[in-house]
């Protein structure tokens, strides 16, 4: 009766498990012989029998293609289904075993669930063993099946065979739902008091699972649990300790209750360390590390925030920390757990130092796993025991060179956590070296973190600028836009260093520029702004400052190199036209260079070529005024407060305090102007043509006058004030309507008439760094009641709730100011925020301020919700974004709106 040629589909074998598998551990050789005789006898009586598990596996493994495998599996599944329908109980066990294998391959097998229950209900141990295995693999939390399995479990928990009880406990421990936990807790509690240690330990872990799922059932297990610690059997001890730990974590009362067992735990642990070699529990010379770790963990739970209890365990922790053999992983496992306990409890100062030193030794370990664990733990403790961790700084920096990328990543994070105003110079030096050689994935976060660290701790302005330059060189194209903008900003607000920096940048531009677009962009921006300072710069060394001709030559190279991006060339072209007002004897050369771009193939460059050429022709009288130096830029997203830090730190070198007035004051004085200035740039970019909003990568820096359409966007740059008034912004009072000077002719730029808050949000939140905190918006945020709607993985979404006011036009409309903050070190792109409300509400969503959130940046959006029927507001929020190339999707419900919104 062959099915399909060479392969015997039906074949006889009694046992569900192949006898070959059993031979190694079953010394009864004649058993196999008996079975063979028996099998042959059966074969004569009964035909056919289903394919053996072993043969199915062979057949599946022989399949050469996925399709072939699928066909074998489908055929067998169809056969297995048919036997289930026919209620074939003789071969049920074997069929389920096959089904479980098929399930592991990823095929659906849930039609076997009920058959598993039938197996469990069988009186044969073989059936039960496979049945329970199937139940653990195939059952999900479907209620109807669970009711059935609960009955089976109840039966078996009362069995007289310890292994049947064991199977039931094991299954309960793996798949107990809250309902099962409630129904069977009593049985488990009874079994915890069983005289049989094999049953007792399993019952204890079942109780552990039950307490996890239904904490209020804890009480009933307490008496049985307490007695477990007086056991000799390690299985019972470890499961007892595990259960107690779980109970303590779940309930402060129980935690207090178990504090009195600390001496018992200390005694058990001491016996383990001092005990001689015991073969049964020895692991590489250490006595039962599993139990030791569990006890250490329970001590940690009991000692947290409790001086007395901590006091009681100081000695033993010190003993474990000093007496544990560390040549193998297992010893370090115990030391690691000891360190965690020491760090978490109220331990003595000396002990804490000992713990950090153990981690320091870990850092030098040959085993990369140990090094990783050390870095991870140090990172956790650095905020508590900063001084102790600082002592291992050199070793941490050494780990930056580790061949293992996970370790390098941790070392980098820890290095940044260790930076303070004392070590900033050496740390930054090492990190810049690391940055040079780092993998591409590290370059962006590392360079941004260096920038943040220098912002906080830089000893001098000059040093900070030097460091930023080094970062620009070392990180090349991997630099994020925030680094470019914060560098430009820092330079623009450091008037005493502009000449120096420009010279340094100029020198860097003469070097190899491949893959350093950000460096070129910053470089040409500075040269454009401060070209006059460049050619007259005094440098520390004897090298002469460059001549105008040499500088223009660099531009020649930048502008015509095919490797440079269009954005870089836009920077360069803008910079070059500025130079025409800074330089004297190369103006005609510059003019001709710009003129060649009138026929550039790239439309953006061509447009600039055409427009800038106008400045040499009919409108040359405007050139000087238009291309004046930018006033210092105001700090945007990358955190203010840097000046405060600097003032607290060392006194600035070499006349930083120009004219005796601290720089902070100076900055404040120009604050208002620079604010609006940055805003103007945005208007130029965005408001005039909101439809063509450019992504941040392409946004030219402030001062780059872009006009991506024929409208003359070069309104009067020297006349900011008027435009400012027109917009009615800032501290300058209510809008007035001054005559707009429009030298270039045709029509005035289209400005939105009154700027409402939505538009301000749009401007302010837009592109992170450049966007100044617009005053109206700040006030608004402060006044509104806020709620955090979402916080996960570094993304925080805050709702500012603007309640409807009684007299307003829409008395039942709630305005929600959504602010999404990115607290990670990576860009979040393609950010999408969607909202759904119940039908009785009406929802109106304004367009968001952007789709990219820079690190520490934000995106804002306004939602209006009308509630004519005054229902309780519930909201479903769907979020998606891409971070480090990984898409993230999430959905939440926001139900905690204040109840009085519509009162």
Partner 1 sequence: MVRIFSFDYGAVLKQAFQMQFMLLFSRQGKLRLQKWYIAHPDKLKKKITRELITTILARKPKMCSFLEWRDLKIVYKRYASLYFCCAIEQDDNELLTLEIIHRYVELLDKYFGSVCELDIIFNFEKAYFILDELLLGGEVQETSKKNVLKAIAAQDLLQEDEAVEGALRDIGLL
Q: Strand 795-802's sheet: what is its strand order?
A: 786-792, 795-802, 813-822, 858-866, 842-845
CB-based contact 865:837 (threshold 8 Å):
yes
**Residue 497: φ, ψ to 5°:** -110, 0
Residue 24 sits in the site that holds partner 1 (CB under 8 A)? yes
Applying CB under 8 A, which part among 29-37, 255-263, 540-548, 845-853 lies near partner 1?
29-37
Per-residue contact track with partner 1, 141 to 180, x per CB under 8 A? x-------------------x-x--x--xx--xxx-x---
Sequence-distant (≥ 6) Cβ neighbours of residue 863 within 8 angstroms: 815, 816, 818, 835, 843, 844, 845, 846
- Quote the least distance from Cβ 441 to partner 1, whole Å: 14
Q: Which of 38, 275, 669, 697 binds partner 1 (CB under 8 A)?
A: 38
Backbone angles phi, psi at 842, to 5 degrees: -115, 140
Using CB under 8 A as the binding rule, whether residue 54 contacts partner 1 is answered as yes
Q: Does 384 bind partner 1 (CB under 8 A)?
A: no
Take residue 787 and report the two structure tokens written for it.
């709620």
Q: Tell which one of 94, 118, 371, 516 touches partner 1 (CB under 8 A).
A: 371
- One character per residue 400-439, x = contact with partner 1 (rule: CB under 8 A): ---xxxxx--------------------------------
Candidates 102, 268, 298, 370: give the one binding partner 1 (CB under 8 A). Answer: 370
The region of 98-106, 478-486, 614-622, 668-676 touching partner 1 under the rule CB under 8 A is 98-106
Question: Quick check: 195 binds partner 1 (CB under 8 A)?
Answer: no
Q: Which of residues 445-484 bind partner 1 (CB under 8 A)?
A: none
**Interaction of residue 876 with partner 1, rule CB under 8 A:** no
The packing angle between helices 440-457 and 424-437, to 10°, is 160
SS3 460: coil
* Look-up of token digits 């000077």: 741
CB of 56 to partner 1, least distance (A): 10
- Binder of partner 1 out of 12, 39, 421, 477 (CB under 8 A): 39
State in angstroms the smallest separation of the CB of 427 from partner 1. 24
Angle subtended at Cα 70 by Cα 65 and Cα 71, rounded to the nearest 5 degrees: 100
Contacts 24+ apart (CB under 8 A), 129-137: 129/167, 130/16, 130/93, 130/96, 130/97, 130/100, 131/93, 131/96, 132/167, 132/168, 132/170, 132/171, 133/100, 134/96, 134/99, 134/100, 135/171, 135/175, 136/170, 136/171, 136/174, 136/175, 137/100, 137/103
Q: What residues from 260 to 299 belong to the interface with partner 1 (CB under 8 A)?
A: 280-281, 283, 288-291, 293-294, 297
CB of 225 to partner 1, least distance (A): 14
Q: What string marks each residue from 625 to 644 as x (binds partner 1 by CB under 8 A) or -?
A: --------------------
Nearer Cβ to partner 1 (187/686): 187
Binding-site member from 258, 372, 612, 616 for partner 1 (CB under 8 A): 372
Q: Applying CB under 8 A, which of residues 79, 91, 101, 463 lies at the interface with partner 1?
A: 101
Q: Which 3 state secondary structure label does DSSP give 700? A: coil
Structure tokens at 143: 């209620």
The binding track of 503-542 with respect to partner 1, each residue x by CB under 8 A or -, is ----------------------------------------
Site for partner 1 in 816-845 (CB under 8 A): none
Tokens at residue 138, please? 């195939």
364 in contact with partner 1 (CB under 8 A) = no
Binding of residue 57 to partner 1 (CB under 8 A): yes
105 touching partner 1, by CB under 8 A = yes
Q: Which stretch binds partner 1 (CB under 8 A): 113-121, 127-135, 353-361, 714-722?
A: 127-135
Q: Which of 12, 49, 83, 126 binds partner 1 (CB under 8 A)?
A: 126
| Piece of the chain touching partner 1 by CB under 8 A; list 40-48, 504-512, 529-537, 856-864 | 40-48
Give residue for tokens 């200035």: 677
The DSSP symbol for 214 reads -
Query: End-to-end alpha-carbon separation of the chain, Å?
Result: 81
76 lies in the site for partner 1, by CB under 8 A:
no
209 vs 608 by CB, closer to partner 1: 209
Q: By CB under 8 A, which span of 399-407, 653-661, 714-722, 780-788 interacts with partner 1?
A: 399-407
Nearer to partner 1, 197 or 901 (CB): 197
Rounded Cα gap, residues 691 and 680, in angstroms: 18
**Does the protein bind partner 1 through residue 52 (CB under 8 A)?**
no
The answer to whether 375 touches 411, Cβ cutoff 8 Å, is: yes
Contacts 24+ apart (CB under 8 A), 588-591: 589/549, 589/552, 590/552, 591/616
> Binding mask 311-350 vs partner 1 (x if CB under 8 A, - otherwise)?
------------------xx-xx--xx--x----------
Select the residue interacting with partner 1 from 92, 94, 202, 582 (CB under 8 A).
202
Q: How far is the CB of 317 from partner 1 (least distance, A)?
A: 15
Residue 762 binds partner 1 (CB under 8 A): no
What are the tokens at 740?
Answer: 């707009």
3-state secondary structure of 1: coil
Could you tell me the two tokens for 895?
Answer: 């139900």
Which of 178, 748 has the CB closer to partner 1?
178
CA distance 512 to 510: 7
Which among 368-376, 779-787, 794-802, 809-817 is the span making contact with partner 1, rule CB under 8 A?
A: 368-376
Alpha-carbon separation of residue 296 from 37, 349, 433 (angstroms): 56, 19, 41
- Residues in contact with partner 1, counted by CB under 8 A, come to a total of 93
Within a 10 A sphere around the Cβ of 663, how many other Cβ atoms? 19
Least spacing, CB of residue 208 vs partner 1, in Å:
6
CB of 255 to partner 1, least distance (A): 16
Residue ranges in 555-584 that form contacts with partner 1 under rule CB under 8 A: none
720 binds partner 1 (CB under 8 A): no
Task: Report the alpha-carbon distance of residue 762 to residue 200 in Å, rounded.
Answer: 65
Residue 5 beta carbon to partner 1: minimum distance, rounded to whole angstroms = 24
Name the CA dihedral angle for 475, 478, 483, 488, rounded to a multiple of 10 degrees. Answer: 80
Q: How many residues does the chain have?
A: 903
Distance CA 762, CA 193 (A): 68
In the list 299, 373, 378, 633, the residue contacting partner 1 (rule: CB under 8 A) is: 373
Least separation, in Å, of the C-beta of 359 and partner 1?
13
**CB 250 to partner 1: min, Å:** 10
Q: CA 578, 579, 583 angle in degrees (round to 5)?
A: 140
- 894 bridge partner residues: 875
Could you say whether residue 182 binds partner 1 (CB under 8 A)? no
Nearest residue (CB) to partner 1, 140 versus 668:
140
Residue 390 contacts partner 1 per CB under 8 A:
no
Q: By C-beta, is 668 or 893 nearer to partner 1? A: 893
Report yes or no: 768 and 489 within 8 Å, Cβ to Cβ: no
Q: How many CB atoms within 10 Å of residue 71?
A: 12
């Amino acid at each position: 009766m062959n099915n399909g040629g060479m392969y015997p589909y039906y074949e006889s074998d009694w046992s569900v498990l192949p006898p070959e598998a059993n031979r190694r551990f079953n010394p009864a050789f004649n058993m196999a012989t008996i079975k063979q005789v028996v099998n042959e006898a059966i074969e004569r009586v009964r035909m056919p029998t289903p394919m053996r598990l072993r043969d199915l596996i062979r057949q599946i493994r022989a399949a050469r293609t996925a399709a072939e495998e699928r066909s074998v599996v489908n055929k067998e599944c169809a056969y297995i289904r048919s036997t289930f329908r026919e209620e074939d109980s003789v071969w049920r066990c074997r069929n389920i075993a096959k089904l479980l294998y098929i399930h592991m391959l990823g095929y659906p097998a849930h039609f076997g669930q009920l058959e598993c229950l039938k197996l469990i209900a069988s009186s044969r141990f073989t059936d039960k063993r496979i049945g329970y295995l199937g139940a653990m693999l195939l059952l999900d939390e479907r209620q109807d099946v669970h009711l059935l399995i609960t009955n089976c479990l109840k039966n078996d928990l009362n069995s007289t065979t310890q292994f049947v009880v064991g199977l039931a406990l094991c299954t309960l421990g793996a798949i107990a739902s809250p309902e099962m936990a409630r129904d069977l807790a009593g049985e488990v509690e009874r079994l915890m008091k069983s005289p049989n240690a094999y049953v007792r330990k399993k019952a204890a872990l079942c109780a552990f699972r039950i307490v996890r799922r239904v904490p209020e059932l804890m009480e009933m297990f307490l008496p049985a649990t307490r007695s477990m610690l007086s056991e000799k059997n390690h299985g019972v001890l470890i499961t007892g300790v595990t259960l107690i730990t779980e109970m303590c974590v779940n309930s402060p009362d129980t935690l207090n209750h178990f504090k009195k067992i600390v001496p018992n735990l200390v005694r058990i642990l001491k016996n383990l360390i001092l005990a001689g070699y015991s073969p049964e529990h020895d692991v590489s010379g250490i006595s039962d590390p599993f139990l030791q770790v569990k006890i250490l963990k329970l001590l940690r739970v009991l000692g947290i925030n409790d001086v007395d209890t901590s006091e009681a365990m100081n000695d033993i922790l010190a003993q474990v920390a000093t007496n544990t053999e560390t040549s193998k992983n297992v010893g370090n496992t115990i030391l690691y757990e000891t360190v965690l306990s020491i760090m978490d409890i109220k331990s003595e100062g000396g002990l804490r130092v000992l713990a950090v030193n153990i981690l320091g030794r870990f850092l030098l370990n040959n085993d990369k796993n140990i090094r990783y664990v050390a870095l991870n733990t140090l990172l956790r403790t650095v905020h508590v025991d900063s001084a102790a961790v600082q002592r291992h700084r050199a070793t941490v920096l050494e780990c930056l060179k580790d061949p293992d990328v996970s370790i390098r990543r941790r070392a980098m994070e820890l290095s940044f956590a260790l930076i303070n105003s004392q070590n900033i110079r050496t740390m930054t030096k090492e990190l810049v070296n690391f940055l040079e050689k780092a993998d591409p994935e590290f370059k962006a976060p590392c360079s941004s973190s260096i920038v943040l660290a220098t912002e906080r701790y830089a000893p001098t302005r000059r040093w900070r600028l030097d460091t930023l330059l080094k970062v620009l060189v070392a990180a090349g194209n991997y630099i994020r836009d925030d680094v470019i903008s914060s560098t430009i900003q820092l330079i623009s607000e450091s008037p005493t260093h502009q000449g120096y920096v420009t010279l340094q940048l100029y020198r860097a531009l003469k070097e190899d520029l491949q893959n350093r677009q950000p460096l070129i962009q910053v470089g040409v921006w500075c040269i454009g702004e401060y070209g006059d300072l460049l050619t007259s710069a005094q440098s520390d060394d004897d090298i002469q400052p460059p001549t105008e001709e040499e500088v223009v030559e660099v531009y020649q190279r930048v502008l015509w190199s095919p490797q440079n991006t269009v954005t870089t060339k836009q920077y360069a072209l803008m910079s070059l036209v500025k130079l025409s007002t800074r330089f004297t004897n190369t103006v005609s050369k510059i003019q001709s260079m710009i003129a060649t771009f009138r026929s550039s193939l790239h439309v953006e460059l061509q447009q600039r070529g055409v427009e800038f050429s106008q400045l040499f022709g009919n409108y040359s009288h405007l050139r000087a005024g238009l291309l004046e130096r930018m006033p210092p830029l105001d700090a945007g997203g990358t955190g203010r407060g840097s000046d405060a830090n600097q003032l607290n730190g060392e006194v600035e070198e070499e006349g930083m305090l120009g004219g005796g007035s601290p720089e902070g004051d100076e900055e404040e004085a120009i604050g208002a102007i620079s604010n609006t200035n940055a805003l103007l740039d945005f208007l130029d970019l965005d408001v005039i043509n909101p439809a063509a909003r450019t992504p941040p990568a392409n946004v030219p820096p402030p001062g780059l006058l872009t006009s991506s359409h024929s409208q003359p966007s070069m309104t009067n740059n020297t006349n900011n004030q008027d435009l400012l008034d027109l917009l009615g912004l800032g501290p300058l009072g209510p809008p007035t309507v001054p005559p707009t000077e429009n030298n270039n002719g045709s029509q005035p730029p289209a400005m939105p008439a009154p700027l409402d808050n939505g538009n301000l949000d749009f401007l302010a939140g837009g592109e992170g760094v450049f966007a100044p905190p617009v005053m109206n918006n700040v006030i608004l945020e402060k006044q509104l009641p806020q709620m955090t709607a979402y916080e996960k993985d570094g993304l925080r979404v805050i709702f500012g709730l603007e309640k409807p006011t009684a007299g307003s036009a829409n008395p039942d409309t709630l305005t929600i100011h959504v602010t999404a903050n990115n607290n990670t070190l990576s860009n979040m792109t393609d950010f999408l925020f969607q909202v759904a409300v119940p039908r009785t509400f009406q929802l109106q969503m304004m367009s968001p301020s952007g789709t990219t959130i820079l690190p520490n940046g934000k995106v804002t959006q306004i939602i209006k919700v009308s509630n004519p029927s005054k229902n309780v507001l519930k909201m479903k929020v769907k979020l998606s974004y891409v971070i480090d190339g990984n898409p993230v999707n999430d959905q939440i419900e926001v139900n905690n709106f204040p109840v009085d919104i519509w009162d």
